[in-house]
Amino acid sequence: MKIMTTTPAALVLASSLAFAEPAVAAGTHGGGHGSGQATAIGVPGNPAEVDRDIRMDLGEMSFSPDAIGVKADETIRFIVTNSGDFLHEFNIATAKMHEQHTEEMMILMESGAIDAERINHEMITMTENGA
C-alpha cells in the first residue's frame, strides 16, 4: 500500500467525485502545470479548523468512496491512499477545471514528463517552460 499526498505533478487515472457544491477530483490545482488559476476549492485550510476527515482510496480506474457530500464552508482533510499499481493524483476542482487539467496532463504524458509509474520532474519543467 502506498500513501500519497497531493502534489502538482502527475495524473494518470482521473477520478471524479460528486459534491454538493459541484467539484470533482483530479482537477486543476494551484501551482500546477502553468494553469495560473486560483480558487477556493482545494485551497489548503487551517489544520486547526478541520471539520472532519475523509479517507480516499485510489485504485486502478476506481476510488472509494465513490461519492461524498460536502457543505459550503466546510473544511475537509482528505487522507489519500494509493492502493493501485500506478501513479495517481488527487485534486479538487470544478468540472471545467477538471477538463482543462485533463488536457494539461495529456500534454505531459505525450511529452514523456509522466507515465503510469513515474514522474520525470526535469521533463515537467521543460514542458512548462515551452521546451
How does pLDDT run across 88-118, given as a tens digit for each residue? 778 787 888 888 888 888 888 888 888 777 7
Chain position carrying cell 485533463: 102
**DSSP state string for 86-97:** S-----EE-HHH
CA-CA-CA-CA torsion sign (48, 49, 52, 55)? negative
24-25 vs 92-93, strand pairing mode: antiparallel
Which helix H or strand E contains 82, and what residues bound it?
strand 76-82
pLDDT for res 51: 94
Q: Are 57 and 63 in contact (CB under 8 A)?
A: yes
Range of the domain at 79: 2-128
- List, for residues 4-43, the tens digit of each pLDDT value: 443 333 232 223 332 323 333 433 344 444 445 555 676 7
Give the CA angle between residues 67, 31, 27 to the nearest 5°: 25
- List, for residues 60-89, the tens digit of each pLDDT value: 878 899 888 888 888 999 999 989 888 777
Give the whole-angstrom CA distance, residue 68 versus residue 72.
13
The size of the chain, in residues, is 131
Q: How many domains does the chain have?
A: 1
